[in-house]
Structure 1
Amino acid sequence: MNRHFLYIFFCVNIVIFVGFETVIALNHEMVKSTSESSEDSALLGFKKAVIQELQEMKGEMLLLKMENEEKDSKIKNLEQKVANLEKGQRHSVIRGRRGMFQNIAFTAYLDHSEHNLTQDQPIIYNKVLLNDGGGYNTNTGMFTAPVAGVYLFSYSVGAKVIPDVHLSQYDVFTRLIVDGVHQLSAVAESTSTWDDEQGSTTAIVYVPDGATVWTKHEFKGGNNLYSAEFERITSFAGTLLYEKEPVDNSGIIG
């Protein structure tokens, strides 16, 4: 009987032990599965959070891009307005200057003869008929441009052979000088006694603001210039045609 009891007790213990091990194994598998499921759930949640954050960043970037484009558009509009204002101001200044200087014109003449002229000596037209704008100077014989623009200039010189007078050399050669550069020339030659001769030329040229325009004697032949109060055949005149911005005068031949 005791042996039978021990056998039964032994078998029960084995069953209990095996069952306990099985329960432990099952519990371990359940814990492992739960852990893996938790890890997958956490990873999935992290991915979702990252995706949501990226989407939010993308939205913010799009918003910033739109704001930048709007600011760029406003900046371009402001730049255009500034350019228009500057252009308008320049035009206003030009119109104002034109209002101040549009009446620029002069005419002067020489009321006597000049003898023994030297090389490059300025011809001074000492009598003034008109000097609007005050550009012509009777002391120097030079016209100073009050404003840059295109001007018309015309001048004439006289030659006359008069017996027993200094005008024994009967020809004269002169040049028109604009801003230090020779533009045109005028020549007069009297070939007989009491023969009145007049040489003249006309030029339409650009003159910078503040530049001088004048005529001078060129020592090529005669050195006497004829004129008189009652004849006034030696004269100098000019007028502003229109204002103009500075130009390149490098092509002018000196």
Structure 2
Amino acid sequence: MVFKIGLCMTLGCFNALISNAASEIGTHDASLEARFIEMEKRQREQSFQLENQKKTYRTTGEIVLRPSRQSSIEATAFYAYMNHYEHTPSNHHVIIFDIEITDSQGTYNKYTGTFSAPLDGLYAFAYTIRMACISASANSNATAPFELVRNDHVESVVYVGETVCKNQDTVSGFAILKASKGDSVYVRTHSSFLIHGNILSDNNGRTSFSGWLIK
């Protein structure tokens, strides 16, 4: 700029140089202001992102610390078996599985043979029936259907059909059911089919009932 002033010998030329210099300074200031605004914008964005991360962390922390439904129901299961014989049971007869091996939530009643759902959910049930004919001399077979019942509604049926009296037969059933809190589930003989034979359960083979909450 000094060189330019040396070459500029007129007042008009000097004023033009001053004007150009002021314009350059103004442009430089505007550029600095724009950069400052951009920096402020980035800072606000970073602050916003940081705040969101804090909120996410706090929310996640609450979810982790709060007992989840799944963790509270993982141990909901029962298993029981019958420790006696049932000789020619009648129709519509509830099977009593009187030996409890597992009953994590106290949901199975060994005196009534009934499971009570502790909460709404999807449940799995398995049951096994072992039968034999009344006697070899009676020349009769062991035949009987058994029902898995929820609130008096038949959900599953299995059939024992032993054609040779000197042998025994074992049958198993399995069902996955939706149940509401307080629903009752149990195993019984058929409501109308006439039962032929005895239900067995001993160290050679157990008549059993089990169930658990899936979710």
TM-score, reference length from structure 1: 0.53
More helix by share: 1
For 2:139 and 2:158, locate their aligned partners in 1 and report how far apart those are by CA, in whole Å.
Answer: 18
Match of 2:130 among 158, 174, 177: 158
Conserved? CA contact 1:157–1:233, under 8 Å? yes
CA positional deviation for 1:162: 5.4
More strand by share: 2
Letter of the 2:194 partner, please give it.
G
Pairing 1:221–2:194 present: yes
For 1:226 and 1:216, locate their aligned partners in 2 and report how far apart those are by CA, in whole Å.
Answer: 12
Q: Which residue does 2:206 correspond to in 1? A: 233
CA positional deviation for 1:199: 1.7
Q: Which residue does 1:212 correspond to in 2? A: 184
Q: Which residue does 2:76 correspond to in 1? A: 104
Letter of the 1:233 partner, please give it.
R
Structure 2 counterparts to residues 1-254 of structure 1, below 5 A: 95=68, 97-161=69-133, 163=135, 170-218=142-190, 219-242=192-215
CA positional deviation for 1:238: 0.5
Q: Which residue does 2:51 correspond to in 1? A: none
For 1:167 and 1:116, locate their aligned partners in 2 and report how far apart those are by CA, in whole Å.
Answer: 15
- Structure 1 unaligned regions, length at least 5: 1-87, 243-254
Cα deviation code 1:69-94 (max 9, x no counterpart): xxxxxxxxxxxxxxxxxxx99xx68x
Query: What secondary structure does 1:229 align onto?
Result: coil
State how many pairs are aligned. 152
> Superposition RMSD on alpha carbons, in Å?
2.7
Larger mean Cα displacement after TM superposition, 122-131 or 160-169: 160-169
Identity across matched positions, percent:
24
Letter of the 1:145 partner, please give it.
A
Q: Using CA pairs under 8 Å that are at least 6 residues apart, name the structure with larger relative contact order, 1 or 2.
A: 2
Select the structure of larger CA radius of gyration.
1
CA positional deviation for 1:99: 3.8
Cα deviation code 1:107-163 (max 9, x no counterpart): 111122212322211111111221111111100000001111001001121221253
CA positional deviation for 1:190: 1.6
TM-score, reference length from structure 2: 0.62
Conserved? CA contact 2:134–2:196, under 8 Å? no
Conserved? CA contact 2:143–2:162, under 8 Å? yes
